[in-house]
Structure 1
Amino acid sequence: MNTIIAYFSTIPSAHRSLILMGGITLFWLIENTFPLFKFQYKKWHHAGINLFLTLTTIVINFLLAFILIQTANWTTRTHFGILPLLPALPVWLYTLIGLLLLDLIGAYLVHLIEHKTKFLWRFHLIHHTDTWIDTTSANRHHPGESIIRFVFTTLGVLLVGSPMWMVFLYQTLSIIATQFNHANIALPKKIDTFLSYFIVSPDMHKVHHHYVLPYTDSNYGNIFSIWDRLFGTFKTLPKQEIIYGVDTHLDPKENNQLKKLLQIPFQKKLSLEKNEKL
């Protein structure tokens, strides 16, 4: 455990980039060999759009990284947050609690709020317009949403009182987890179900991408599945019944033109169901 802490305390930016691209490459190869769905689509064109949006997320996080670093350093220096209030714990347990809490605020909570708030939903909607979910879909986020998620990640670091090594570890696990649970891979049902008791499995997250409510508003987690189970947002749906997308934006022309995707948050078009809820 000390080796892991030492590594993530000084992890080079090049290593973080390698993990990001290595994960996409690995799951891309696996999903080509063992696909869950055999899509009829231009995979490279689809990937190009998603990877461009991934790149914008990387740039935004890079430009704002100093805020995250200063926040983590401040919490460490002042012993602010939840973790410093805990009694002495084994390092592995201390780390697990920190990761769980960061995942709660930086992934589950912001995701839930994006679905429940009209203004934020407009930005998150781009992620749900993807009708061909694969590993490149993982970071299909509008630049505006990338900023929103950065704010919540920073809030999580502040409230949890995470040291910077834990933040880097969390971000690395978060990247791998989202690439894994978006990948178009077919795991044996028993294995996927077993995994879903601990982490967000591919079948579990695919339900969240079903095109209509109440499934769209379920399974918000990214790394750990405990929060969906604890807060009653966990749902299942046979994978053969899943239809990807969102009911308001099913036109392939809208979903496969970058310019149109970037314009979606500024359109007035929202589903009747969403308008009734908000």
Structure 2
Amino acid sequence: MEHEALIRLAAFLGVALALALWEVLAPRLDRPAERLRRWPGNLGLVALSTLIIRLLVPVLPVGLAALAQARGWGLCNVLPLPDPAAGLCAILLLDLAIYWQHVASHRWRWFWRLHRVHHADTVLDLTTAVRFHPLEMLLSLGYKLALVLVLGPPAWAVLAFEILLNALPLFNHANARLPLGLDRWLRLAVVTPDMHRVHHSTDMREANTNFGFCFPWWDRLFGTYQDQPGAGHQGMIIGLNIFRDRVWAGLWRLLRMPFA
């Protein structure tokens, strides 16, 4: 686990570069990407969040998982489970917990004010996946740290989940075209771009569906799954109606957005 940060960064950059190329060569929606207007704010948020977390948080989930294993903390270290089974269960439970966190970010008003920074992007592409307010990133990290303490998962499983949680949202936010037949089969295992795009509709009845970031099963199990947007992917409008002005794309405006 000593090279955890390097492994995560390499996976993130590799997936991001591949998806950026995919978006250029085979976009799903033929709309202006407005990268010069949007990307400085979107990427500025993730850079600022990363800096704040590095300065304020002494331990990250993988390191805490290694400490929990060494001290025998958490369910996985109490129950007599083989390491592979404990790791697989931990990955599934962590993803389920992130699903419920996402649901809560739409249900609780104060949490929604933070989360709407993510939803206010008027174009959906891979950078939308990292467009979160630093306060929401800190809350999410605190939630994951608490989950790791309770579950006591193997450190390799937490690393695997962190890589999934970085890579799959990049994929399912990307403006990348998949053959419809492949999408139909692929969304049985992972959240696809067409499935997640519904969640970014300006119609809040649609925005309150398809909460999964990695695995699609929770939406089907808990009744929050919607197959397609009512207006079709070409016809649906992305973003929030109250933040459509171009000025909201800047970093300073994004930081102020929860308090607007």
In structure 2, give the amino acid aligned to 1:234.
Y
Q: 1:88 to 1:72 in 2, by over 3 A?
A: closer
Structure 1 partner of 2:132: 141
Write the distance in 1 (CA, Å) between the matches of 2:140 and 2:83.
30
Structure 2 partner of 1:239: 233
- Per-residue CA deviations over 1:105-158 (Å, capped at 9, x if unaligned) read 2x2121111111111111111100101110111110111111111111112212
Deviation at 1:57, TM superposition (A): 2.8
* TM-score, with length taken from structure 1: 0.85
Secondary structure, counterpart of 2:203 in structure 1 = coil
Structure 2 partner of 1:248: 242
Structure 2 partner of 1:39: 31
Structure 2 partner of 1:62: 54
Deviation at 1:72, TM superposition (A): 1.9
Write the distance in 1 (CA, Å) between the matches of 2:220 and 2:10.
33
- Residue 72 in 1 paired to residue 100 in 2? no
Residues 60 and 146 in structure 1, CA contact (< 8 A), matched pair in contact too: no
The correspondence for 2:189, drawn from 195, 198, 209, is 198
Write the distance in 1 (CA, Å) between the matches of 2:7 and 2:70.
27
Structure 2 matches for 1:4-153, cutoff 5 A?
9-63=1-55, 64=57, 66=59, 68=61, 71-89=64-82, 91=84, 93-105=85-97, 107-153=98-144
- Per-residue CA deviations over 1:43-87 (Å, capped at 9, x if unaligned) read 233222211112123223434251535632443234333333544
In structure 1, give the amino acid aligned to 2:10.
L
* TM-score, with length taken from structure 2: 0.90
Structure 1 partner of 2:170: 179
Q: 1:65 to 1:36 in 2, by over 3 A?
A: farther
Long gaps (5+) in structure 2? none
Deviation at 1:242, TM superposition (A): 2.4
Residues 212 and 247 in structure 1, CA contact (< 8 A), matched pair in contact too: no
Give the fraction of aligned pairs with identical amino acids, expressed as a percent.
31
Q: 1:236 to 1:211 in 2, by over 3 A?
A: same
Deviation at 1:235, TM superposition (A): 1.1
Residues 19 and 171 in structure 2, CA contact (< 8 A), matched pair in contact too: yes
Structure 2 partner of 1:270: none
Q: 1:65 to 1:203 in 2, by over 3 A?
A: farther
- Per-residue CA deviations over 1:186-233 (Å, capped at 9, x if unaligned) read 111121121111211111111100112211111111111111111111
How many residue pairs get matched?
Answer: 256
Q: 1:158 to 1:90 in 2, by over 3 A?
A: closer
Between stretches 150-159 and 115-124, larger displacement belongs to 150-159
Residues 206 and 242 in structure 1, CA contact (< 8 A), matched pair in contact too: no
Structure 2 partner of 1:160: 151
- Residue 263 in 1 paired to residue 256 in 2? yes
- Per-residue CA deviations over 1:231-253 (Å, capped at 9, x if unaligned) read 11111223233211013222233
